[in-house]
Structure 1
Amino acid sequence: MLIRRLAAEERLTTSFPLQAYAFEASPLTAERVEAFHRYLPYNKGNRTLIVEEGGETRATASAVPMRQNLRGAVLPMAGVAGVATHPLARRQGYVRALLRQLLDEMRDGGHPLSALYPFRASFYEKFGYVGLPRARTVRFSPADLAPLLRTALPGTVSWERIGTGYARFRSFTERCLRERHGFALFPDFRDVGLRDRDDRWLVTATVDGGVVGALTYRIDDHGGELVGDDLLATDPYARALLLQFLARHVDQVDRISLQVPADELPELWLTDLAVQVEARVSRPGSLAPMARLLSVDSLAGLPAGPGRVRIELVGDRWLAGTHLLDGATGHLELTSGGPAPEATLTAAGLSALAYGVLDPAEVHIRGLGDIGPEAATELRRLFPRVLPYLFADF
């Protein structure tokens, strides 16, 4: 078995066909094969590895060099994508070998975080990943937004094609990256595909000269559905400005769908708003994202409560050893001395606490750590619960 990194053009005949077989309709049409050539430039900065045996590609995996907000700190993150195996080579350990090397290389290259959308969550949990909340799909009638048309709101909205407004949209998502826990962004070489495809409308909300909200969307047909992507808003006024714009489509579309973070409560947006909120998780095809730490050092300096605990990290290739975590200064410090309650954690357990998705008791219940009552109290102080919002869909 040979594992090697691909040169850019090699993807056309190696990784792309395997990924397409795993995640798309098949057999591939000639048009889809031709589309590989158009897609190639947006992969130029990815790190793509393949397993070869007898000159044939048996499996592939890629990492996209991204950035993610972890409790207020923006850190380099490896977005793992395109993990696929030849149908005659599955369940033979190829993906495990690929992931070990891929994460080794990304960690050594300065990426202390990693995230992905799994083909099976239990498989990636063994690699130290833990589940993050899935974005909610919200569906409602534009007619129910009518009260907003009578509401005076501070600010204005602008409307344009995404190809024209891309720079404004990218600048706003950079702001979201700085301000929103869990938010992640593609690198420029990948993200410009949104501009180049130019297959979305963009509406932005502006207050006092600054963009405070944005939504990209398309309309499938007259009398059909306005299909929105992520509703991005910094506050309720920004959200209301975007919804007010959508209310003006009452005589054009029958329904509207949007993606919102898990901590958003659409049922409270307006009185008499009939709304369906759904987070569908199924296997295969629609799984929640996962993430993990690749370095304990990434925790240093993060905002933290006044807790103090000694953790032993076990069962992982990248996180190991004993570490004393102290938040007395308001920022997490990795120290070495002094007494403290003790806990044993897997990589998934520590990642769950750092990302704010599980309580220490839940970490214990799920077998991701051995945490006594005193250590659990300290860990709750160090890592208050906070829901991450993984914006990038890779």
Structure 2
Amino acid sequence: MAIRRVSSEERLTTSFVLGAYAFEASPRSARRADEFRGYLPYNEGNRTLIVEEDGAPLAAASAIPMRQNLRGAVLPMAGVAGVASHPLARRQGHVRTLLHQLLDEMRDEGHTLTALYPFRPSFYARFGYVGLPKPRTVTFSPADLGQLLGADLPGEVGWERIGTGYPVWREFTERLLRERHGFATFPDYRDVGLRDRDERWLLTARVGDVVTGVVTYRIDDHGGELAADDLLAADPYARALLLQFFARHVDQVERISVQVPADELPELWLTDLAVHVEARVARPGSSAPMARLLSLDALTGLPAGPGRVRVELAGDRWLTGSHLLDGTTGSLELLSGSGVDAAAPSATLTAAGLSALAYGVLDPVEVHLRGLGDVPPDAAVELRRIFPREVPYLFADF
């Protein structure tokens, strides 16, 4: 039994086959194997590892070299995907072994963060991952947007297929990557699949030559649903311009659905807007994302509040030791060693506990309640100053 890296056409008979059985309807027709070939260009830069025995693949896992915004810093992030086992080889530790090696390699290459969508959150919690908010699906009738039809809004909208408008969409997501905490983007070789499939309309909001919002969507049928992907807007005017365009479909579709970040409040968009907001999390098939720090280098230099605390990191493969976290200058500094400022409040954290604080998803008290660390009250005060709560928006769905 051995672990090795596969690339290019080897994926056709290894990781793609295992992934198709794990995540698709099966059995599929023989033509499905031919369709796999079309996926190769969009996986070319991934790192894919397999466990095999006598030449037969037993398990596979891939990492996509991505980038993510952590509290204003854009850092290399390993997006873990395609984790699958042969049905006769499950629960034998193959995935655990693969993930250890995969994350070791990605960390060695400089990826300081990692994120994924879990098949079972508790499984990945053992690897130090912590949950992130799932985007909300907002559903409403286009008739309820009628008050926007007469609104005089600054700017204008553009409308085209994503196949031609892709450069504009990509440029705007790059802007949000720099501006939005938690935002992540695929590498170019993966993202162009959206352009090449050309299965969406692209709607843009502009003020002069500046793009202020984008959203992709499709319509399933006359009298059906206008299903939009993530509504990405730089400000309320841009959001209103995009919704104003959707209002013009009142005699074409019955309902509109759109994805929004967890901190968006659609019920306050308009008066008399009857809206259903849902974030459904279930397993298998409808999971919220998870993420973690792979290296403490991710924290160095982050914007931070004026806190000062010692943390002892315990029980993790990648984050260990005693460190002083100092945000008194407004830029987080890390000093290592058990003797560093022994007078500072101290806490013991797991990797998931520290990751939860860095991503802004848990308060220090919640970290303690969740069993992700021992956080005395004085240390909680300092950690809360260093890492104020902030809602991350992962955006990329892999």
- Name 2:331's counterpart in structure 1: 331
Structural mapping, 1:1-394, within 5 Å? 1-336=1-336, 337-338=340-341, 339-394=343-398
Q: Which moved more, 1:271-280 or 1:200-209?
A: 200-209
Unpaired runs of 5+ in structure 1? none
Using the TM superposition, give the Cα deviation of residue 335 of structure 1 relative to its aligned residue in structure 2, in angstroms.
Answer: 2.2
Distance (Å, rounded) in 2 between the aligned partners of 1:70 and 1:28: 40
- String of CA shifts for 1:237-292, please: whole Å, max 9, x gaps: 11000000000000110000000000000000000000000000001110100000
The secondary structure found in structure 1 opposite 2:325 is strand
Per-residue deviation, 1:211 = 0.5
Mapped to 2, the partners of 1:228 and 1:23 lie a distance apart of 23
1:92 deviates by 0.5
What secondary structure does 1:110 align onto? coil
Cα offset, 1:392, TM superposition: 0.3
Report deviation, 1:28: 1.9
Q: d(CA) in 1 for partners of 2:392 and 2:272?
A: 29
Alpha-carbon distance, 1:125 to partner: 0.6
What does the per-residue CA deviation read over 1:311-350, in whole Å, with 9 as the maximum and x for residues that have no partner? Answer: 0001000000001000011010012532210000000000
SS at match of 1:150: coil
Amino acid at match of 1:41: P
d(CA) in 2 for partners of 1:384 and 1:29?
51
Query: For residues 382 and 208 of structure 2, what CA distance do their matches in structure 1 show?
Result: 43
Q: 1:33: Cα distance to partner?
A: 1.8
Instruction: Give me the whole-angstrom Cα distance separating, in 2, the residues matched to 1:114 and 1:180.
Output: 17
Q: Distance in 1 between matches of 2:355 and 2:20?
A: 31
Percent identity, aligned pairs only?
Answer: 77
- Equivalents in 2 of 1:238, 1:313: separation in Å? 43
**Which secondary structure does the structure 1 equivalent of 2:144 belong to?**
helix
CA deviations on 1:158-196 (whole Å, 9 max, x unpaired) are 000000000000000000100000000000000000000
Detail structure 1 runs of 4+ shifted over 3 Å in the superposition. Answer: none
Measured in 1, the distance between the counterparts of 2:209 and 2:152 equals 18
Distance in 2, Cα, partners of 1:208 & 1:370: 53
Partner secondary structure for residue 104 of structure 2:
helix
In the TM superposition, what is the alpha-carbon distance from 1:30 to its structure 2 partner? 2.6
Q: Give the CA deviation at 1:207.
A: 1.2
TM-score, normalization by structure 2: 0.98
Determine the C-alpha separation between the residues in 1 that align with 2:105 and 2:354.
21
Report Cα offsets for 1:53-98 as digits up to 9, x if no partner: 1221000000000000000000000000000000001000000000
**Cα displacement string for residues 351-377 of structure 1 (whole angstroms, at most 9, x for unaligned residues):** 000000000011000100000000000
- Partners of 1:37 and 1:86 lie apart in 2 by 21
Unmatched segments (≥5 aa) in structure 2: none
Alpha-carbon shift at residue 5 of structure 1 (Å): 0.1
Q: Give, in angstroms, the shift of residue 8 of structure 1.
A: 1.1
Counterparts of 2:283 and 2:394, CA distance in 1? 20
> Following TM superposition, by how much is the alpha carbon of 1:7 offset from its aligned partner in structure 2, in angstroms?
2.3
The count of aligned residue pairs is: 394
| Alpha-carbon separation, structure 2, partners of 1:323 and 1:297 | 12
User: Take 1:186 and 1:31, find their aligned partners in 2: how far apart are those partners?
Assistant: 28
Instruction: Please give the alpha-carbon distance, in whole angstroms, between the structure 1 residues aligned to 2:259 and 2:370.
Output: 29
Q: Which amino acid aligns with 2:365?
A: A
* TM-score of the two chains, using structure 1 as the length reference: 0.99
Q: Which shows bigger deviation, 28-37 or 369-378?
A: 28-37
Larger displacement relative to structure 2 (329-338 or 230-239): 329-338
Worse-matched range after superposition: 331-340 or 287-296 = 331-340
